[in-house]
């Protein structure tokens, strides 16, 4: 794409060391864990919370030979065959490269921003306008400072239209995105109330978003979001809405029927109708926004209506599900291109729970493999992954199967593959399903995935990653991070969560019982794992699986020392629990001397850490008590270190401690509930929801006012009512105390109360006031903290009580 000397000319580094000026750079690398195509990539070491300079050697060892660095090190001495450019700021350098590449693009660029719907509008415009335009679009939802830069880097004049998303969460970010994207046409999807945290007000957020359109030629937007807002720039405006002064006027939106919604519109003196194959209001907004864009591009209204009628849903997320025969299935059945294939393969690589990795891949529409460049790209993608098996579906890819370097089978079509599936046994494997939409891989997915009943707990792995980084941002770099994965990761999963945490390089995992640790080891987790409550029966598995026990009493210490001695091991790591005031488990501070005596007389165990637990970190009235606990741990650890003559880690802060007590950070913090999306004490952290418990409506009934609903006739109706029965009950973890209106669930955007007692496997909702159909989706805990409060418990309990029979489905974007 660019040679290294061209890059040098563009970014004007303050110092350069070039071993090979001719090498051409195709890929931007920034994460040494995800390096593929090392020879053709350039590695950016960013500073910030994670210092990229720490990973230079790792990247170099993996074969990377081109680097952009901020820090003035003598790297050329260690890497004499590398090209190194030193810059003032790696971020601005990356962005200036993206900006440069954007400036070479000759076609128009549509820039999209808004609180929701950016990716859907982008994907729909792609569907709607592809027949006429060669469209480049940002992959997945790459819309951050990094995502936009990476998106623009791949833009080229092979295309004649680009659609780029921009997302912001703080004031000041949009100017940098605008400078890179320079949209010709601006699209605002909407302004939501979510993610308010980075902004002082909704107006401030709106104004920040509008900065994307500073130099745009046209701005397309739903009028209702910009009422009373001065648009400070001078683009042509194409607004839509119900009022007459909009260029695109919405006359009426009919009540949905058979999954279709009919909308009547008025534009340029002409009335026309569109039939949108969706029913929810968000889809209506997005579809009308797309209509407005098409009108701006001069499309005829009849053609617009025809295309809209055939709109397909957008599925952007990878789903990780349990498969049959001890398999995991990563389902990415709705799109196939080289960028999203790489993302899906990266995610496959993060999975360690099975010995085999299998890729089932359809032909890739729009990628011509007769073009050497594309073929090489595909070869490199596939070759890098330790795949054990490759299954190719479709007439095209099979011609190249031999060249991909992985054992393969080919099938002419999805139907052909399914017909042969009974003879193919997938076992102990992670299977990535990556198929273009036309191949209908969802049919394969149905056959490979274990049956689930309708209630699922959706786990958003990106949100978990985000929350982890929020807490990482609170503690200094040198403080280690222990992630609590006890109790099935607070109800959200086992190896699925641990794989992600391992990939994100936390320092420790902690489980409650040895068998939880064994399960993680069997799933290929190599991080150190602490077991909080090891009993004597579990010592064998502790030692065998290299788990590290918490030692909380003399009884357990003696027992463990004897056990390890028989095994003839030395320096087995243990973690000493100190009771500084919680009065649960642990040595009392005055037992330090006796403990030291025992530890000094042996060399079979070695203290890896000494730690304690804060009892009341969240309660300001107990601040003096908390400070005392911190002091007691400090003193205990000092004494122990002095007498033992070696150092070890000290830790006391869990989520609340991390949020409120910097003096409690010591050498490591233990993150639990916050990672799963629930702030313990603060409210300003913008955590993202990790688990969403969903079910759907099984039956709807119209019941007259005189009747009652459910057991004991507790559901007394005071009016003629519409009642929805849904498939979740106390056996699934939906507490009986949520009965009779205490619990509120979200159905089609409305909160509705329970009615009557909660049954074992079902309960009933009063949906009298809302539009609802059987099979509609129900979100069980729209706000888990409020739900917990309403029955006098805490979110922890609701999360861990979600029964194991509720299937977990994992998403990763």
Catalytic residue numbers read 486, 711
Q: How far apart are CA 276 and CA 136, in angstroms?
A: 25
- On whether 254 is known to bind a ligand per the annotation, the reply is no
Contact 114, 164 (CB under 8 A): no
Work out whether 654 is an interface residue with ligand PLP (CB under 6 A). Answer: yes
Q: Which of residues 122 and 613 has its CB atom nearest to ligand PLP in the complex?
A: 613
CB of 157 to ligand PLP, least distance (A): 51
Using a 10 angstrom Cβ sphere, with 0-12 exposed, 13-18 middle and 19 or more buried, the burial of residue 359 is buried
Work out whether 149 is an interface residue with ligand PLP (CB under 6 A). Answer: no
Site for ligand PLP in 482-511 (CB under 6 A): 484, 486
Q: Which of residues 457 and 680 has its CB atom nearest to ligand PLP in the complex?
A: 680
CB of 513 to ligand PLP, least distance (A): 12
Residue 600 has a CB neighbour count (10 Å cut-off) of: 11
Task: Please choose, out of 12-20, 294-302, 653-661, 689-697, the segment that lies near ligand PLP by the rule CB under 6 A.
Answer: 653-661
Work out whether 182 is an interface residue with ligand PLP (CB under 6 A). Answer: no
Q: Which of residues 162 and 482 has its CB atom nearest to ligand PLP in the complex?
A: 482
Work out whether 261 is an interface residue with ligand PLP (CB under 6 A). Answer: no
Task: Please choose, out of 237-245, 251-259, 446-454, 652-660, the segment that lies near ligand PLP by the rule CB under 6 A.
Answer: 652-660
Q: Which of residues 318 and 671 has its CB atom nearest to ligand PLP in the complex?
A: 671
Q: In what order do the strands lie in the sheet with 66-69?
A: 15-17, 83-86, 66-69, 41-44, 27-29
CA dihedral 194, 195, 201, 206 (to 10 degrees): -80
Strand, helix or coil at 601?
A: coil
Task: Indicate which single residue of 354, 670, 744, 808 sits in contact with ligand PLP (rule: CB under 6 A).
Answer: 670
What would the x/- binding string for ligand PLP be over residues 466 to 485, using CB under 6 A? ------------------x-
- The b/e string for 515-539 (b: 16+ C-beta within 10 A; e otherwise) is ebbbbbbebebebbbbbbebeeebb
Give the CA angle between residues 610, 616, 619 to the nearest 5°.
145
Cα atoms in the 13 Å half-sphere on the side-chain side of 599: 28
Contact 189, 138 (CB under 8 A): no
Q: How many residues at the interface with ligand PLP, by CB under 6 A?
A: 12
CB of 623 to ligand PLP, least distance (A): 17
- On whether 764 is known to bind a ligand per the annotation, the reply is no
Contact 98, 113 (CB under 8 A): no
CA dihedral 421, 426, 432, 435 (to 10 degrees): -10
Strand, helix or coil at 261?
A: strand
Contact 163, 187 (CB under 8 A): no
Q: How far apart are CA 81 and CA 16, in angstroms?
A: 13
Site for ligand PLP in 605-624 (CB under 6 A): 613
Give the CA angle between residues 509, 514, 517 to the nearest 5°.
40
DSSP 374-430: HHHHHHHHHHTT--SEEEEESTTGGGGGGGG-S-EEEESSHHHHHHHGGG----SEE
Contact 212, 204 (CB under 8 A): no
Work out whether 680 is an interface residue with ligand PLP (CB under 6 A). Answer: yes
- 769: alpha, beta or left, given left = phi > 0 and alpha = psi -120 to 50? alpha
Site for ligand PLP in 267-306 (CB under 6 A): none
**H-run or E-run covering 42:** strand 41-44
Work out whether 176 is an interface residue with ligand PLP (CB under 6 A). Answer: no
User: Which residue number is nearest to ligand PLP in terms of Cβ?
Assistant: 672
**H-run or E-run covering 58:** helix 56-61
Q: Which of residues 191 and 485 has its CB atom nearest to ligand PLP in the complex?
A: 485
Q: How far apart are CA 169 and CA 191, in angstroms?
A: 13
Q: How far apart are CA 312 and CA 334, in angstroms?
A: 10
Task: Please choose, out of 442-450, 533-541, 668-676, 739-747, the segment that lies near ligand PLP by the rule CB under 6 A.
Answer: 668-676
Task: Indicate which single residue of 167, 672, 677, 739 sits in contact with ligand PLP (rule: CB under 6 A).
Answer: 672
Residue 403 token pair: 């060249």
**H-run or E-run covering 294:** helix 281-296
Work out whether 52 is an interface residue with ligand PLP (CB under 6 A). Answer: no
Work out whether 673 is an interface residue with ligand PLP (CB under 6 A). Answer: yes
CB of 656 to ligand PLP, least distance (A): 6
Q: How far apart are CA 520 and CA 523, in angstroms?
A: 5
CA-based Rg of the chain, rounded to a whole angstrom?
Answer: 29
Work out whether 764 is an interface residue with ligand PLP (CB under 6 A). Answer: no
Q: Which of residues 134 and 584 has its CB atom nearest to ligand PLP in the complex?
A: 584
**Which spans in 688-736 are helix H?**
none
Q: Which of residues 362 and 656 has its CB atom nearest to ligand PLP in the complex?
A: 656
Task: Please choose, out of 24-32, 387-395, 650-658, 762-770, the segment that lies near ligand PLP by the rule CB under 6 A.
Answer: 650-658
CB of 550 to ligand PLP, least distance (A): 8
CB of 585 to ligand PLP, least distance (A): 9
Q: Which of residues 289 and 609 has its CB atom nearest to ligand PLP in the complex?
A: 609
Q: How far apart are CA 362 and CA 441, in angstroms?
A: 9
CB of 403 to ligand PLP, least distance (A): 50
What would the x/- binding string for ligand PLP be over residues 557 to 596, using CB under 6 A? ----------------------------------------
What would the x/- binding string for ligand PLP be over residues 417 to 436, using CB under 6 A? --------------------
Work out whether 209 is an interface residue with ligand PLP (CB under 6 A). Answer: no
**Which spans in 601-709 are helix H?**
623-644, 655-660
CB of 679 to ligand PLP, least distance (A): 10
Task: Indicate which single residue of 190, 492, 655, 754 sits in contact with ligand PLP (rule: CB under 6 A).
Answer: 655
CB of 796 to ligand PLP, least distance (A): 7
Binding annotation: 584, 760
Binding annotation for substrate: 584, 760
Q: Residues in the site for ligand PLP, rule: CB under 6 A?
A: 484, 486, 613, 654-656, 670-674, 680
């Amino acid at each position: 794409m660019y040679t290294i000397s061209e890059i040098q000319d563009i970014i004007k580094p303050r110092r350069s060391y070039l071993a090979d000026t001719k090498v051409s750079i195709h890929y931007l690398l920034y994460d040494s864990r995800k390096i593929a195509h090392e020879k053709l990539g350039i590695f950016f070491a960013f500073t910030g919370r994670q210092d990229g300079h720490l990973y230079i050697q790792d990247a170099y060892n993996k074969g990377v030979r081109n680097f952009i660095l901020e820090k003035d090190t003598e790297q050329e001495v260690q890497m004499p065959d590398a090209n190194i450019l030193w810059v003032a700021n790696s971020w601005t350098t990356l962005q200036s490269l993206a900006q440069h590449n954007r400036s070479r693009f000759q076609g128009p660029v549509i820039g999209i921003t808004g609180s929701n719907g950016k990716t859907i509008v982008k994907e729909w415009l792609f569907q709607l306008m592809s027949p006429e335009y060669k469209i480049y679009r940002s992959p997945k939802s790459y819309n951050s400072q990094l995502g936009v830069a990476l998106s623009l880097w791949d833009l080229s004049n092979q295309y004649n239209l680009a659609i780029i998303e921009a997302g912001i969460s703080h004031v000041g970010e949009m100017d940098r995105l605008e400078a890179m994207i320079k949209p010709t046409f601006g699209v605002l999807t909407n302004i939501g109330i979510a993610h308010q945290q980075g902004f002082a007000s909704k107006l401030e957020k709106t104004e920040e978003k509008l900065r994307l359109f500073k130099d745009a030629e046209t701005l397309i937007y739903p009028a209702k979001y910009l009422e009373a807002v001065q648009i400070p720039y001078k683009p042509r405006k194409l607004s839509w809405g119900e009022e007459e002064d909009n260029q695109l006027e919405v006359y009426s939106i009919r009540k949905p029927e058979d999954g279709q919604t009919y909308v009547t519109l008025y534009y340029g003196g002409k009335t026309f109708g569109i039939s949108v194959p969706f029913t929810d209001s968000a889809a209506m907004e997005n579809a009308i926004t797309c209509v407005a864009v098409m009108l701006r591009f001069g499309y005829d209204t009849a053609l617009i209506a025809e295309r809209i009628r055939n709109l397909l849903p957008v599925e952007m997320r990878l789903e990780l599900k349990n498969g049959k025969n001890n398999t995991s299935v990563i389902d990415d059945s709705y799109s196939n291109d080289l960028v999203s294939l790489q993302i899906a393969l990266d995610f496959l690589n993060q999975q360690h729970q099975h010995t085999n990795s299998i890729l089932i891949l359809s032909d890739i529409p729009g990628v011509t493999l007769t073009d050497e460049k594309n073929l090489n790209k595909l070869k490199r993608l596939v070759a890098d992954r330790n795949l054990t098996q490759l299954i190719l579906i479709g007439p095209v890819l099979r011609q190249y199967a031999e060249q991909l370097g992985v054992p393969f089978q080919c099938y002419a079509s999805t139907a052909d593959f399914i017909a042969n599936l009974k003879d193919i046994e997938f076992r102990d494997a992670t299977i990535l399903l990556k198929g273009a939409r036309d191949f209908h891989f969802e049919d394969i997915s149905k056959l490979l995935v274990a049956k689930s009943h309708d209630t699922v707990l959706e786990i958003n792995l990106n949100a978990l990653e985000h929350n982890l980084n929020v807490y990482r941002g609170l503690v200094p770099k040198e403080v280690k991070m222990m992630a609590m994965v006890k109790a099935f990761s607070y109800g959200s999963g086992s190896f699925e969560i641990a794989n992600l945490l391992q990939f994100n390089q936390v320092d420790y995992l902690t489980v409650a019982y040895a068998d939880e640790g064994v399960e993680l080891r069997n799933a290929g987790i190599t991080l150190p794992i602490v077991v909080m409550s090891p009993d004597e029966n579990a010592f064998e598995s502790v030692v065998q699986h290299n788990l590290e026990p918490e030692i909380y009493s003399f009884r357990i210490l003696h027992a463990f020392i004897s056990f390890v001695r028989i095994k003839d091991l030395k320096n087995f790591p243990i973690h000493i629990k100190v009771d500084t005031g919680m009065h649960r488990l642990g040595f009392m501070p005055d037992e330090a001397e006796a403990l030291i005596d025992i530890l000094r007389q042996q060399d079979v165990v070695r203290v890896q850490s000494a730690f304690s637990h804060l009892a009341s970190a969240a309660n300001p009235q107990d601040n003096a008590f908390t400070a005392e606990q911190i002091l007691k741990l400090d003193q205990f650890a000092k004494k122990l270190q002095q007498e033992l003559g070696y150092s070890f880690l000290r830790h006391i802060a869990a989520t609340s401690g991390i949020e409120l007590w910097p003096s409690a950070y010591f050498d490591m913090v233990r993150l639990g509930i916050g990672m799963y999306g629930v702030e313990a004490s603060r409210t300003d952290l913008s955590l993202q929801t990790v688990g969403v418990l969903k079910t759907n409506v099984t039956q709807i009934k119209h019941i007259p006012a005189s009747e009652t609903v459910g057991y004991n006739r507790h559901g007394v109706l005071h009016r003629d009512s519409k009642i929805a029965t849904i498939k979740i009950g106390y056996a699934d973890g939906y507490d009986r105390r949520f009965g009779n209106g205490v619990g509120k669930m979200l159905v089609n955007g409305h909160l509705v109360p329970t009615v009557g007692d909660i049954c074992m496997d079902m309960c009933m909702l009063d949906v009298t006031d809302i539009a609802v159909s059987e099979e509609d989706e129900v979100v069980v805990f729209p706000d888990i903290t409020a739900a917990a409060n309403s029955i006098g418990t805490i979110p922890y309990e609701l999360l861990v009580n979600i029964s194991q029979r509720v299937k977990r489905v994992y998403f990763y974007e």
